[in-house]
Structure 1
Amino acid sequence: MKVYKVSLIVIMVLGIIFIGKSDPMKNLYKNSASIITGLKIDDKNKDSTKNEGAKKKEKVEKYLICIDPGHQAKGDWKSEPVGPGSPYQKARVSSGTVGISTKKPEYILNLEASEVLKHILISKGFDVIMTRESHNVNISNLERATFANDHNANMVIRIHADGSDDTSITGASILIPSQKGKYTSSIFEASYECANLIKNKMDDGGFKVNGIFERDDLTGFNWSKVPVVLVEMGFMSNYNEDEMMSNKEYQRKMMQSIADGVEEYFQTN
């Protein structure tokens, strides 16, 4: 009987020590988790770590867009080479055309629209730089291209408006560097892909787009190391289109289409 009592006391003491050093609820949780998930706890922790790593990889990379509002208040008719090492020269920059109805100079319209585009792109998460944010500047087409190059931009969007002696002509046009151009073959494909997506969005928005045209004679293209798309918003030589392009809602809608095209390009490339 004494032996029995002693044994019972020893068992009770050992039980108290064991309980004091353990966490029964924690052990129960561990065992339950193992049964429910079919994973070892260590494996579950590792899986969680992997998920965190995947989330980090899924973060959207920041892209830098350079917007070039075409022209400036005063043209600079001094010449510069149309491409690196080219013997051919063109005027550094012109002041552009003028609205037949609004009498608004193109350089003003271009900056108005570019500011709208800038804010839309920023709202989409892009970083944005602009070649100019005022009219009283003197920045040549060569300098605009090298500005984007030096800042390692991912895409250049140039904003312009058209003019013609024929006042009946209307519609936007999209210009890109030439596929067979001496200076631009390396940036043609990306420029074309982005231009095509912009055109699709403009079509969807109800804008008339006359097409995508390759150019090998534009200084701003030939000096660029960055894919570049130039959007001619419409003809300032047409009364109705001139007035529409100065309409704030029309501007916003067109710039939204351009921004949506740029966004889709970077989502798919």
Structure 2
Amino acid sequence: MKRKQSISVILFLFLFVMSVAGCGSDKREELNRKLEEGEVLLSQEKYDEAVIFFEGLFNAHQDSISIMEKLDYSRVMSASRQHLDEALRLLEEEHYQEVYEALSGVSSIDEKGQLEKDKIFSEIRSVYVDRAEKLSDARLFKTAMKELDEYLAFVTTDFEVEEMKTDILAKSMIPLEPVVEEVKKIIVINPGHQAVQDKEKEPLGPDSTKLKNRVSSGTRGVASGVYEYVLNLQVSLKLRDELVKAGYEVIMTRTTHEVSISNRERAEMANEKGADLFISIHANGSENRNKKGIMTIYPSKENPYVSHLSDEFLKLSTVLHEEMIKASGAESAGVQAMDNMVTLNWSKVPATIVELGYMSNNEEDLLLNTEEYQDKLVVGLVNGINRYLDEKTP
């Protein structure tokens, strides 16, 4: 009897131990699954979420060294990336000293953060070096040295920048040679038309008895609803900016729509300024809705006012037309001779009228009113102006 009782007790204890062991095994499996979830957050670099996740897990398993290590790692990486984000924000604002301070918080175990840190250091260095070089070229040596000193205050050492300082100092001691200032070419851009037309009359050309309206408001896009005078100014302002970048002096006949400047007055403005080129920007219209393409206009050899300039006007018109077609991929509406254009008939300098396209054609009208296509047209115009002046220069 006693033997049977002993066996029963042993069996009970065995089953109890197995039950406890099984329960422990389930808990370990659950913990491992949780750890895998946390690893996913770390692999996705969601460090802020990982901190919250592992904090909750650690509160439930405070005896787990693995969880504690993951939590510590998540906290370090979260802080590191916060410092990196702050540095990038300050970099945009050009607060370089504060950038360096923020980057000091990027952890050494954050490999990606360290790579970004090196890129930022390199970018800041380039900014200071470029500034110093430009200032030195302008013979502003003291200001150039200050730029480099400011940079060197951020870093422990930079031998190349130290050598650059030495070179600038030596350059500052070289006497200044007389510099002959290059005279900039003058381009007068005439954005065709204006908001309110002026029906008063002016002569078609010098000594002409034929009269035309002083200025009109132009055509209007059949699909876009945009007025021609608005499109003309948009493209002209873009052309102005690009020509200034290219080193030209640019004069605009108008920069707003609310003006009253006749076509003759616009041509005379170019004459008075001694312009190298006078370019009028327009857009076309036609009752034939199928017409499209770029056109340039010049006076013919039979023109009673500027026939002696016909060849030069034709050359300019042809070069601009070719370069605009090449840059935009537009169709050609030709290089046309017309003798009833006041801006050409009163011009004493090389001039042309550029018709960007047909606003009476649905497809081309919409295209003309896109930034991308306008930029292409401007590229063609700049290329044409450069080419014409290069070929004209002896």
Q: Same fold (TM over 0.5)?
A: yes
Give the Å deviation of 1:61.
4.5
1:173 to 295, 300, 308: 295
Corresponding residue number in structure 1 for 2:120: none
CA change 1:152–1:257 in 2 (3 A) is same
Q: Match of 2:337, as an amino acid? A: E
Answer 1 or 2: which has greater strand percent: 1
Corresponding residue number in structure 1 for 2:27: none
Corresponding residue number in structure 1 for 2:391: 268
Q: How does 1:58-77 map to 2 (within 5 A)?
A: 61-77=183-199
1:98 to 220, 237, 242: 220
Task: Measure the CA separation in 1 of the matches of 2:390 and 2:373.
Answer: 26
> Deviations for 1:76-95, whole angstroms, at most 9, x for unmatched residues?
01111101111111100000
Aligned residues: 215
Corresponding residue number in structure 2 for 1:204: 326
Larger radius of gyration: 2
Task: Measure the CA separation in 1 of the matches of 2:187 and 2:311.
Answer: 17
SS in 2 for 1:262: helix
Contact 2:240 2:250 in 1 (8 A): yes
Unaligned residue ranges in structure 1 (runs of 5+)? 1-51
Report percent identity of matched pairs: 39
Q: Match of 1:131, as an amino acid? A: T
Task: Measure the CA separation in 2 of the matches of 1:123 and 1:190.
Answer: 26
Establish whether residue 136 from structure 1 lines up as the match of residue 255 from structure 2.
no
Contact 1:177 1:228 in 2 (8 A): no
Task: Measure the CA separation in 1 of the matches of 2:386 and 2:342.
Answer: 26
Relative contact order, higher structure (CA 8 A, sep 6+): 1
Unaligned residue ranges in structure 2 (runs of 5+)? 1-176
Contact 2:193 2:217 in 1 (8 A): yes
SS in 2 for 1:263: helix
Q: How does 1:15-34 map to 2 (within 5 A)?
A: none
Corresponding residue number in structure 2 for 1:240: 363
Corresponding residue number in structure 2 for 1:155: 277
Give the Å deviation of 1:70.
0.3
Task: Measure the CA separation in 2 of the matches of 1:69 and 1:133.
Answer: 8
Task: Measure the CA separation in 1 of the matches of 2:295 and 2:185.
Answer: 25
Task: Measure the CA separation in 2 of the matches of 1:220 and 1:197.
Answer: 19
1:227 to 338, 347, 350: 350
Corresponding residue number in structure 1 for 2:100: none
Contact 1:188 1:227 in 2 (8 A): no
Give the Å deviation of 1:203.
2.6
TM-score by length of 1: 0.77
Contact 1:98 1:105 in 2 (8 A): yes
Contact 2:294 2:325 in 1 (8 A): no
CA change 1:128–1:77 in 2 (3 A) is same
Establish whether residue 215 from structure 1 lines up as the match of residue 338 from structure 2.
yes
Give the Å deviation of 1:178.
2.0
Give the Å deviation of 1:60.
5.8
Corresponding residue number in structure 1 for 2:372: 249
- Runs of 4+ displaced beyond 6 Å: none
Contact 2:190 2:236 in 1 (8 A): yes
Contact 1:202 1:209 in 2 (8 A): no
